[in-house]
């Protein structure tokens, strides 16, 4: 048997794994074929053997992370499984700050790519199992998906601010204090919820939003 070349020995999975490591460390700017070859101790030709360009590599990295987030236990309860998927995506975006932007790009520019169909299929299959009218499947699934992306993305953005050395409790306390100082006539609602900001749990708040959407979806279902 002929010996394997370096390009053949280097697997696509290992390239994607290394790309995710670089993305987690320095974001999209930190992922170049130069940094990738250094990380893998190989030549660029070996990488190009498996991956044609950076966009393809970003798509593969996104798909790899998403695959893990969408893997949930079959409980027999579509609602519980949707919550598990939502939390899985929330935590994936929290662990990988670059993921939110990649999901937004793929959703808007290439909804036929690998990530969007998998997310919609995973959530939509369970939405249909809730007894939601078929004519509203797309709208209901889109509402859930956009909420998940938006809320998880905002949480990731907040985390990046806190990673700069800002204490979360102090940050929330300062925000609550500022809201309490707002003019009562102009901002009565903001003043009323200021106290809730101090001690809220991000994941609990996120899942409450998911539950609100699911309640609205199922309320429109026959029976």
Report if residue 47 sits inside a domain: no
How many alpha carbons lie under 13 Å from residue 37 in its C-beta half-sphere? 14
The residue among 165 and 121 whose pLDDT is bigger is 121
The residue among 1 and 133 whose pLDDT is bigger is 133
* pLDDT-based confidence at residue 4 (cuts at 50, 70, 90): very low
The residue among 189 and 1 whose pLDDT is bigger is 189
Report if residue 111 sits inside a domain: yes
Report if residue 95 sits inside a domain: yes
- Backbone phi, then psi, for 110, in 5-degree steps? -145, 65
Q: Is the pLDDT of residue 2 over 60?
A: no
Q: Considering the chain, what is the average pLDDT of its residues?
A: 88
Q: Is the pLDDT of residue 123 over 70?
A: yes
Q: Is the pLDDT of residue 221 over 70?
A: no
Report if residue 137 sits inside a domain: yes
Q: What is the pLDDT of residue 1?
A: 37
| Containing structural domain, residue 205 | 76-219
Tell me which range, 6-20, 105-119, 178-192, is most confidently predicted by mean pLDDT: 178-192
- Distance CA(50)–CA(42), nearest Å, equals 13
Report if residue 169 sits inside a domain: yes
**Mean pLDDT to the nearest integer, 179-191:** 94
Q: What is the pLDDT of residue 197?
A: 87
How many alpha carbons lie under 13 Å from residue 157 in its C-beta half-sphere? 8
- Distance CA(116)–CA(108), nearest Å, equals 10
* Sign of the CA dihedral running 195, 200, 202, 204: negative
**Mean pLDDT to the nearest integer, 26-32:** 92
| pLDDT tens track for 138-175 | 999 999 999 999 999 888 877 666 666 667 778 888 88
Report if residue 87 sits inside a domain: yes
Tell me, what CATH number does 94's domain have? 1.10.357.10
The residue among 196 and 159 whose pLDDT is bigger is 196
- Distance CA(93)–CA(82), nearest Å, equals 17
| pLDDT tens track for 32-91 | 999 999 999 998 888 989 999 999 999 999 999 999 999 999 999 999 999 999 999 999
Q: Is the pLDDT of residue 16 over 90?
A: yes
Report if residue 96 sits inside a domain: yes
Q: What is the pLDDT of residue 8?
A: 46
Q: What is the pLDDT of residue 98?
A: 92
Q: What is the pLDDT of residue 163?
A: 60
Number of domains the chain is built from = 1
* Global confidence as pTM: 0.84
Report if residue 12 sits inside a domain: no
| pLDDT tens track for 203-218 | 999 999 999 999 999 8
């Amino acid at each position: 048997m002929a010996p394997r070349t370096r390009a053949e020995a280097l697997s696509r999975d290992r390239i994607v794994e290394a790309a995710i490591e670089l993305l987690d460390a320095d974001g999209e700017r930190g992922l170049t074929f130069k940094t990738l070859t250094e990380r893998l101790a190989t030549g660029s030709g070996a990488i190009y053997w498996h991956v044609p360009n950076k966009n393809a590599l970003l798509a593969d990295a996104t798909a790899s992370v998403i695959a893990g987030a969408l893997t949930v236990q079959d409980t027999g309860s579509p609602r519980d499984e949707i919550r598990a998927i939502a939390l899985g995506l929330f935590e994936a975006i929290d662990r990988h700050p670059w993921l939110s932007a990649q999901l937004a790009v793929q959703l808007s520019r290439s909804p036929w790519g690998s990530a969007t169909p998998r997310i919609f299929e995973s959530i939509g299959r369970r939405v249909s199992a809730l007894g939601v009218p078929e004519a509203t499947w797309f709208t209901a699934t889109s509402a859930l998906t956009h909420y998940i992306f938006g809320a998880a993305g905002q949480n990731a953005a907040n985390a990046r601010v806190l990673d700069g050395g800002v204490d979360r409790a102090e940050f929330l306390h300062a925000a609550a204090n500022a809201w309490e100082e707002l003019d009562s006539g102009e901002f009565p609602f903001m003043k009323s919820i200021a106290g809730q900001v101090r001690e809220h749990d991000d994941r609990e708040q996120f899942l409450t939003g998911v539950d609100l959407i699911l309640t609205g979806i199922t309320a429109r279902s026959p029976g």
